[in-house]
Amino acid sequence: MSGRESDPLAGLDEVDWAGLEHAYGPAEDVPELLRALASELPSERDKARSELYGNIFHQGSRYEATAHAVPFLVALAADPRVQDRADIVHLLSAIAIGYDEAYLPNGIDITGWRAGIGQMRTADPEEELRRIDQWVAEADDEGERRVRAMRRAMYDHDQSLRDAEAELGAYDAVRATVPALRDLLDNPDLQIQAAAAYTLGWFPEEAAGTLPVFGRLLKSDAVPGVAANAIVSAGLPSGHALVPQLRTFLTGQEALLRCSAAIALARLDDIDPDVLDVLETAAVQPPENSEPRIHHLHGNVRGYATITLAAIEERTHPRLLGAMLRGLALSSGPAAFPTAEAVLQHVFGQPRSGPLPPYAELTEPQQRAVRTLAEMGDDTWRWGNFMLMLSAWGLPSQRAECRTYAGLD
């Protein structure tokens, strides 16, 4: 690419990358990785993207160098000469928020996020250590006490604050590019449109400018994959003004759009029998997620429908658990994890320390949930993540023990 005015990486070498840190130390390798994203060779682009996911975004963590890479990533995503631009937009969304399951189905509480870091900045480190010591002392059993003591030994207030500020800094760096991301909604590439629609929903402070753009996408002839991402994203930053448009998709012919509209409407507390019917159907038999895909929760439509149902008050709508459990029974492997966690939270509340009471003393909904979990297949039980999840709620983490606890063979 020639011509400084048209070069998306203009100014790249003016950044002191060696003085910035990422997951593996000085970030001096980042400039060449950013250049490789514009390569003509797919193998070079793939390798560069993989390495950026490993250093400026490492297993969800963001670093001092991460925010500095954002303007160049956005410029690459906007340049029509660059290939795989939808993948670059997805890297930007990951840089902004990490893994989206941490924020679904309610979206980003940016006010709480900023306030939490503000409290960290003014906190007395010694007082924080005393608070953590008290937390360790209040553990219910010796096993839990050891886990908490290990976390206490690893706690470093200054490092925790630096990490938190780096993550918020990365978020704000992507937030600053929202106008450019909105422009991508007009791109002829449907994958880019869908990626941009997904990403824009994570910035509630920019909703006043984003929601009208979403509204222009929500037409009867909309491309399902693009519209589905826009519909779900419209619900995340409280897009109440779009409710009339969202409801038009609730009874349409396209199942993915019906499900997306129900998810968004439930997020906006516009819940009626039609919304519940669509969500229950999707939790049991989710619609096909065709290209371009809905990207929220990694495209796990059943899981998203289930966590949406779990957030609805069961006392008001006592029919919900049955659909959630039927969907859980039909799930397997990592795709079952969001559904399982939603069910556990729905019937037990927050994770607990210490084992649950005997099975006979559980409520009837709790017994149904435990039995369904115990009957999950080997393709789910073989994952350590699943077993750790059960342990967090005090359930046996070995399949045979869980089945025995639930009175199964």
At residue 317, the pLDDT reads 67
Q: Is residue 371 part of a domain?
A: yes
User: Looking at the domain assignment, is residue 130 inside a domain?
Assistant: yes
- Assigned domain for 402 exists: yes
| Token couple for 273 | 């029998």
* Locus of tokens 């003014």: 122
Q: Determine the residue type at 338.
A: P
pTM comes to: 0.91
**pLDDT given for residue 5 in this prediction:** 55
Alpha carbons within 13 angstroms on the beta-carbon side of residue 327 total 34
For residue 384, the enclosing domain spans 313-409
Which of 99, 129, 156 finishes a domain? Answer: 156
Q: Domain for residue 319, yes or no?
A: yes
The pLDDT of residue 2 is: 43
Q: Which 3 state secondary structure label does DSSP give 352?
A: coil
Q: Write the single-letter amino acid at 381.
A: W
Q: Give the domain-ending residue among 123, 156, 189.
A: 156
**Single-letter amino acid code for the residue at 186:** D
Residue 351 lies in a domain: yes
Total of domains in the chain = 2
Q: Tell whether 400 is covered by a domain.
A: yes
200: in domain: no
pLDDT of 6 reads: 80
> What is the model's pLDDT at position 3?
43
* Dihedral sign for Cα atoms in the order 378, 384, 390, 394: positive
SS3 content of the chain, % helix, strand, coil (to 5): 65, 0, 30
| Of the candidates 99, 101, 80, 82, the residue with the CA atom closest to the CA atom of residue 90 | 99
CA distance 340 to 75: 40
Q: Could you tell me if residue 399 is inside a domain?
A: yes
Q: What element of type H or E holds 61?
A: strand 61-62
Looking at residue 312, what DSSP letter applies? S
- Rg (the chain; Cα; Å): 23
- Specify the pLDDT at position 76: 98
Please give the angle made by the CA atoms of 119, 124 and 65, to the nearest 5 degrees: 60
Cα 277 to Cα 138, 249, 273, 283, 366: the distances in Å are: 44, 14, 6, 10, 23
Residue numbers of the chain with a pLDDT score lower than 70:
1-5, 314-318, 353
CA distance 34 to 365: 51
| pLDDT at residue 155, rounded to an integer | 86
